[in-house]
Amino acid sequence: MNENEKSPKARGGAVQSIERAFALLETMADAGGTMGLSQLAAASGLPLPTIHRLVRTLVDLGYVRQEANRQYVLGPKLIRLGESSSRMLSTWARPHLTRLVDEIGESANLAMLDGDQIVYVAHTESRQSMRMFTEVGRRVSPHCTAVGKAILADMDPAQVRDILRRTDMVPYTPTTITSRDDYLGQLEQVRERRYATDEGEQEEGVRCVAVAVANYAPRLAMSISGPTGRMSDELIERAVPLLTEAGKQLAADLA
């Protein structure tokens, strides 16, 4: 067999290894960033020797780190990739968020799930004199935000329970949900109506409505937020289809 006949197989093998390596990184991220080899093998369905070879390569490259307890954690080298990706997400999301602000009149946000936390990756302010401002890069718990509910409601229930087991459900306001059972019940409602709300659960006097960006990884959600007095039920009813359409357009742009 000559070199040209070998090259397609070589390329195919290389692509498969890359796919498997990224699948392992995503599996670790979904599990909170820390896993053992046996857990990775069980979650991925790959043979243990294959897992070991891929993980050792990722360790050598700095994308995974081995701890003293022999568990593997996502490495700091991923931070640079994540920061660059977040900047690009912000760039792509900006026109869609701007249209939402023009149509609805309140501030618009894009957030994503990063490990067990929600991180805001893009924000466009309302032009109202009294408006909500969300700092890009801010990290919050998923239990007290509409974007967190929208994202988790779109996930496998077993993954959601794992995240909640690792989440401190801190009561930021009197309306913050602090019971895991109550939170899971609310996620069922979100699945039925296809949108989530934050009724002053993160900050008193602020109401938010969010919709998940479907069929895209990492998991994203778009939201509209404003003072409770302006965020009426009628405004939320008008905002949901606009958020859903903006999410579809963003997913198409990213694809």
| Pair (207, 224) in one structural domain | yes
Q: Is the pLDDT of residue 18 over 70?
A: yes
Per-position DSSP letters for 95-125, written without gaps between them: HHHHHHHHHH-SEEEEEEEETTEEEEEEEE-
pLDDT of residue 22: 87
**Which tokens hold the place of 91?**
């760039």
Q: Which of 74, 97, 122 is the last residue of a domain?
A: 74
| Pair (56, 109) in one structural domain | no
| Pair (66, 97) in one structural domain | no
Total number of domains in the chain: 2
Residue 22 in any domain: the answer is yes
How many angstroms separate the CA atoms of 100 and 208, rounded?
Answer: 14
Residue owning tokens 């039925």: 192
What does the pLDDT look like over 41-60, one tens digit per residue?
A: 888 888 999 999 999 999 99
Q: Which of 74, 101, 122 is the last residue of a domain?
A: 74
| Pair (91, 196) in one structural domain | yes
| Pair (175, 65) in one structural domain | no
| Pair (33, 150) in one structural domain | no
Residue 179 in any domain: the answer is yes
Angle at which helices 48-61 and 37-44 cross, to 10°: 120
Residue owning tokens 């937020």: 225
pLDDT band, very low/low/confident/very high, at 8 (cuts 50, 70, 90): very low
Q: Is the pLDDT of residue 125 over 50?
A: yes
Residue 10 in any domain: the answer is no
What is the rounded average pLDDT for all residues in the chain? 87
**Rounded mean pLDDT of 104-108?**
95
Residue 8 in any domain: the answer is no
What does the pLDDT look like over 215-235, one tens digit per residue?
A: 766 789 999 999 999 999 999
pTM for this structure? 0.71
Residue 7 in any domain: the answer is no
| Pair (219, 184) in one structural domain | yes
| CATH number of residue 69's parent domain | 1.10.10.10
| Pair (108, 146) in one structural domain | yes
Which residues pair with residue 74 across a beta bridge? 64
| CATH number of residue 206's parent domain | 3.30.450.40
Domain containing 26 equals 16-74
How many angstroms separate the CA atoms of 117 and 105, rounded?
Answer: 28
Residue 6 in any domain: the answer is no
pLDDT band, very low/low/confident/very high, at 76 (cuts 50, 70, 90): confident
Residue 44 in any domain: the answer is yes
| Pair (22, 40) in one structural domain | yes
What does the pLDDT look like over 148-202, one tens digit per residue?
A: 999 999 998 988 999 999 888 999 999 999 999 999 999 999 999 999 999 999 9
